[in-house]
């Protein structure tokens, strides 16, 4: 079967499991769970059924594919896949509040519809439901030792994610973010949850510690490449494909890899000074200033550097998967998934 066929089977199972975990337990709570359903793309602002973009479900898909590659039944890993997706959703709800982002996937963010207090509370609910989902591994017959290890792994990932978010927010007011700091931040904020997705899939299927570490490293390197590709799309992506304005990250003065490279690594002091002056402005950059910043990035070859760095992490991801010694169709599916993520346009 092709990867598309496999995903065509797995994604409906993931969606059904998410809906089961997020089912409304009492009519009085319909509005509370409705906010969560809105964030996942199932309902509109009036809490009526909708078919909005609710995310790629990349993390649970990665979890289930890793379980299959490690010799397990993906059905066993569904609670873990749902758990990582809900952690991701919780982080995005809080992210939008912390970044004052009023849009999420082309729709008003949860906080801009229902207010910050309610959005915070809904985000907290998603976090708790993620942990409760993981306890359902018992229902799939996963041994107690593996369930305990899975719980620890998810909690460690949540803490790393919060640490990464702390540094990402602290970077907003600083122009002294160097390459090592940037890579540390995205490793925690983005890569760790993808790493844990693959780790949990392998952990559900196997007790082989080396195998599980290999899947973690595969997901981690894939996550690094994924975030850097996101940086590239946020700077040079086609707005008709991404759904974002051209140079969104530039306008918001985000410290992405291309910007960090231009400021500290490109050996063009004049370009670095000019870009720093633009980024020192207190307000969001207008179109003219954004175009000036883009010109400076092009001048120092920042896009090529970012693309090369993403490609190197992609290579490391495949090498980590090779080190597991697994050579089956599921492993080939993971390699194809990784290639698609690096080549994606949104």
3-class SS string, the chain: CCHHHHHHHHHHHHHHHHHHHCCCCCHHHHHHHHHHHHHCCCECCCCCECCCCCCCCHHHHHHHHHHHHCCCCHHHHHHHHHHHHHHHHHHHHHHHHHCCCCEECCEECHHHHHCHHHHHHHHHHHHHHHHHHHHHHHHHCCCHHHHHHHHHHHHHHHHHHHHHHHHHHHHCCCCCCCHHHHHHHHHHHHHHHHHHHHHHHHHHHCCCHHHHHHHHHHHHHHHHHHHHHHHHHHHHCCHHHHCCCCCHHHHCCCCCHHHHHHHHCCCCHHHHHHHHHHHCCCCCCCHHHHHHHHHHHHHCCHHHHHHHHHHHHHHHHHHHHHHCCCCCHHHHHHHHHHHHHHHCCC
pLDDT tens column, 119-171 = 999 999 999 999 999 999 999 999 999 999 999 999 999 999 999 999 999 99
Q: Is the pLDDT of residue 345 over 90?
A: no
pLDDT tens column, 274-286 = 999 999 988 889 9
pTM: 0.94
Domains of the chain: 3-343 (1.10.600.10)
Output the pLDDT for position 241: 56
Output the pLDDT for position 28: 97
Lowest mean pLDDT among 227-231, 240-244, 252-256, 270-274: 240-244
pLDDT tens column, 61-71 = 999 999 999 99
Output the pLDDT for position 237: 80
Output the pLDDT for position 239: 61
Output the pLDDT for position 107: 93
Output the pLDDT for position 112: 97
Average pLDDT over residues 277-298: 92
Q: Is the pLDDT of residue 106 over 90?
A: no
Output the pLDDT for position 52: 80
Output the pLDDT for position 343: 87
Output the pLDDT for position 128: 98
Average pLDDT over residues 172-182: 91
């Amino acid at each position: 079967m092709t990867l598309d066929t496999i995903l065509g089977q797995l994604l409906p199972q993931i969606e059904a499991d998410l809906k089961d975990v997020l089912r409304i337990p009492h009519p009085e709570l319909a509005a509370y769970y409705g906010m969560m359903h809105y964030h996942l793309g199932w309902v509109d602002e009036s809490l009526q059924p909708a078919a909005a973009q609710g995310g790629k479900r990349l993390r649970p898909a990665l979890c289930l594919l890793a379980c299959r590659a490690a010799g397990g039944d993906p059905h066993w890993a569904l609670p873990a896949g749902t758990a990582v997706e809900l952690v991701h959703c919780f982080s995005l709800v809080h992210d939008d509040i912390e970044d004052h982002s009023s849009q999420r996937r082309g729709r008003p963010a949860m906080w801009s519809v229902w207010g910050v207090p309610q959005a915070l509370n809904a985000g907290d609910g998603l976090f708790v439901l993620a942990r409760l989902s993981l306890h359902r591994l018992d229902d799939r017959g996963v041994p107690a030792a593996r369930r305990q290890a899975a719980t620890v792994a998810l909690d460690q990932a949540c803490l790393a994610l919060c640490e990464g978010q702390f540094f990402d927010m602290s970077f907003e007011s600083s122009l002294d973010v160097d390459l090592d700091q940037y890579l540390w931040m995205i490793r925690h904020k983005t890569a760790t949850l993808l790493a844990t997705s693959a780790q949990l899939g392998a952990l559900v299927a196997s007790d082989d510690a080396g195998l599980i570490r290999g899947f973690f490293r595969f997901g981690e390197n894939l996550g690094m490449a994924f975030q850097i590709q996101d940086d590239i799309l946020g700077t040079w992506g086609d707005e008709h494909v991404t759904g974002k304005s051209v140079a969104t990250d530039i306008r918001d003065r985000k410290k992405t890899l291309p910007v960090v490279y231009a400021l500290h690594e490109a050996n063009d002091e004049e370009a670095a000074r000019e870009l720093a002056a633009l980024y020192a402005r207190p307000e969001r950059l207008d179109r003219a200033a954004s175009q000036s910043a883009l010109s400076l990035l092009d001048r120092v070859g920042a896009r090529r550097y970012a693309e090369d760095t993403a490609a190197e992490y992609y290579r490391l991801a495949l090498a980590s998967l090779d080190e597991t010694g697994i050579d089956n169709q599921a492993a080939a599916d993971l390699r194809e998934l990784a290639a698609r993520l690096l080549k994606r346009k949104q």
